[in-house]
Amino acid sequence: MQVTTTRGALKVALLAACLVLAGCVTLPWYPTSGIYTSEAQNFAVELPKGWMRLNSEENLLITRDGILLQHVTVERARVDRPLKNTKKVLSRGMQPQAVAEVIIDNFMSSERMLDLKVLENRPIQIGPHRGFRLVYAHRDKEGLRFKSVLHGFLAGDVFYSIRYTAAERYYFAKDLATFEQVLASFRLIHPA
């Protein structure tokens, strides 16, 4: 997993749009509602009705109005693999705030996240796991402003993040409560 904000989602959307316009493929989006379980990624979460899920083997990505307006992702990364934009590394047993600092550095080092401002960074409990909550804002190269909430934690050798990103105006506040419901339903299938 590459812990980035909208970068991976944008790549997927642009590729899908090009393929659809070329007539090569149908978009792999499915309506959501109810419990989503990923044995391969070791988590289950309740998805909101009326949203769409990208059919992917890797991370979970859902949106209601389009990924540039709002999306929720559940991502995981092994701690023995480097993150995309930082030389800092995650390691088993790190304290939640140390993990948060690595994730912040990864974001700050991204060429796609401009004017990044961390608005909140505090420890939290995510189910039985000690984790952290980040709230941050940035703009992309086109000047669109985004705001995100990321909850992250380590479970053994795996880092999990549950993140909500939306256009700062209108959409962020509009769907924040839905994200909080998704977050509250998140659980690991086989706890580490």
Tokens, residue 51: 């949203």
Amino acid at 167: A
Provide the pLDDT for residue 13.
54
Look up the pTM and report it. 0.83
Residues 6 or more apart in contact with residue 151 via CB below 8 angstroms:
124, 126, 131, 132, 133, 134, 161, 162, 163, 183
* Residue 126 parent element (H or E): strand 114-126
Answer whether 96's CB lies under 8 Å from 113's CB: no
Phi-psi region of 42 (alpha: psi -120 to 50; beta: other; left: phi over 0): left
Tens-digit pLDDT string for the chain (192 aa) = 445 444 455 555 555 555 445 455 555 999 998 999 999 999 999 999 999 999 887 899 999 999 999 999 999 999 988 888 888 999 999 999 999 999 999 999 998 899 999 999 999 999 899 999 999 999 999 999 999 999 999 999 999 999 999 999 999 999 999 999 999 999 999 987
Domains and CATH numbers, the chain: 7-188 (3.40.1000.10)
Nearest one of 122, 132, 134, 129 to 155, comparing CA atoms = 129
Distance from chain centroid for Cα 20:
25
User: Phi first, then psi: what are they for 55, rounded to 5°?
Assistant: -75, 100
Answer whether 113's CB lies under 8 Å from 104's CB: no
Nearest one of 77, 84, 76 to 7, comparing CA atoms = 84
Classified as helix, coil or strand, 108 is: helix
Classified as helix, coil or strand, 113 is: coil
Nearest one of 54, 62, 59 to 43, comparing CA atoms = 59
Give me the torsion for CA of 162, 102, 127, 61, rounded to 10°: 10
